[in-house]
Amino acid sequence: MTFPRITDSHCHLDFPDFDEDRDEVIARAVASGVHRMVTICTKLHQEPQVRAIVEAHDPVFYAAGLHPMSVGKAAEVTVDQLVALARHPKFVGIGETGLDYHYTAETAEAQQASLRVHITAAQETGLPLIIHARAADDDMARILTEGFREKPYACVMHCFSSSAELARAALDCGFYLSMSGIAAFPKSADLREIFAAAPLDRILLETDSPYLAPPPHRGRRNEPGYTRHTAEVGAKAFGLTLEEFAAATEANFDRLFAKAAAWRAPT
């Protein structure tokens, strides 16, 4: 069976969940049409391990930053560190960064400072910012918008599952919304409506694997090859065929992650 080409714009291939079969997981993804994956490093001391995965697998690219839930626990990240990492030919994004007040509200002020560091790095490198947002919509919209007004930058709201108001604030800045397995859950009709109301040219696909597996794999380990299931749900939300929706999200990824789109494997 032939599947349309799609990209998993956000996964975590370095996580221990994949230690036993990482190569097989990547191969399965490619076999299911997922020809590119962006694996996300959430703490900079893990960057060498993430880079090693990327350098061993042509379809895999990476981004790095300090996850907001690790602020105050892991070492702070500097603009200079992120700019230096951006010199790698397969380093294609800044983050994930953002705000999470659901589990870690006690570090809200430090999270905001960290977010601003990542915004500056995105502005300096021209690479897209990758945002994690949970239970912090007002501060998130304010900080992202303030930074954009100071100096425009590109951004994707990863695993978007926030309010229509935050979606609108992001879209007003020209940012992208990424559709994860959450959008495929049966009870996510309201979220699918938010996506369907957005411009088609601002939608990406992702798994956030090993988390948030879409049906029919919900409750089990997620992996990049399952991006196709979310793509099928997204196509229905937009009233498109799977092939049409896949082509649109591919064009969107290429536009936002231009460095990944331009990369060619050494011969």
Q: Alpha-carbon distance 24 to 191, whole Å?
A: 32
Q: Where are the alpha helices (DSSP H) in 173-264?
A: 189-197, 227-238, 242-256, 258-262
pLDDT at 2: 77
Task: Describe the chain by its helix, strand, coil percentages, rounded to 5.
Answer: 50, 20, 30
Furthest CA-CA distance within the chain: 50
User: Would you list which residues are annotated within the binding site?
Assistant: 10, 12, 96, 132, 158, 208
Give the model confidence (pLDDT) of 121-148 as tens digits. Answer: 999 999 999 999 999 999 999 999 999 9
pLDDT at 11: 98
Hey, where are the domains in the chain? 6-262
Long-range contact set of residues 12-17: C-beta below 8 Å, sequence gap at least 24: 12/39, 12/40, 12/42, 12/208, 12/209, 12/210, 12/211, 13/37, 13/39, 13/50, 13/53, 13/60, 13/209, 13/224, 14/39, 14/41, 14/46, 14/49, 14/50, 14/53, 15/210, 17/210, 17/221
Question: Residue 47 to residues 39, 53, 65, 201: CA-CA distances in angstroms?
Answer: 11, 10, 9, 31
Q: How many CB atoms lie within 10 A of CB 52?
A: 11
Give the model confidence (pLDDT) of 21-42 as tens digits. Answer: 999 999 999 999 999 999 999 9
pLDDT at 91: 98
33 near 232, Cβ under 8 Å? no
131 near 140, Cβ under 8 Å? yes
Q: Which fold has domain 6-262?
A: TIM Barrel (3.20.20)
Omega prior to 224 cis, within 30 of 0: no
* pLDDT less than 50: residues of the chain: none
pLDDT at 3: 85
The alpha carbon torsion through 204, 136, 142, 82 (nearest 10 deg) reads -60
In 3D, which of 106, 162, 109, 157 has the Cα closest to residue 132? 157
User: Would you list which residues are annotated within the binding site for a divalent metal cation?
Assistant: 10, 12, 96, 132, 158, 208
pLDDT at 1: 64
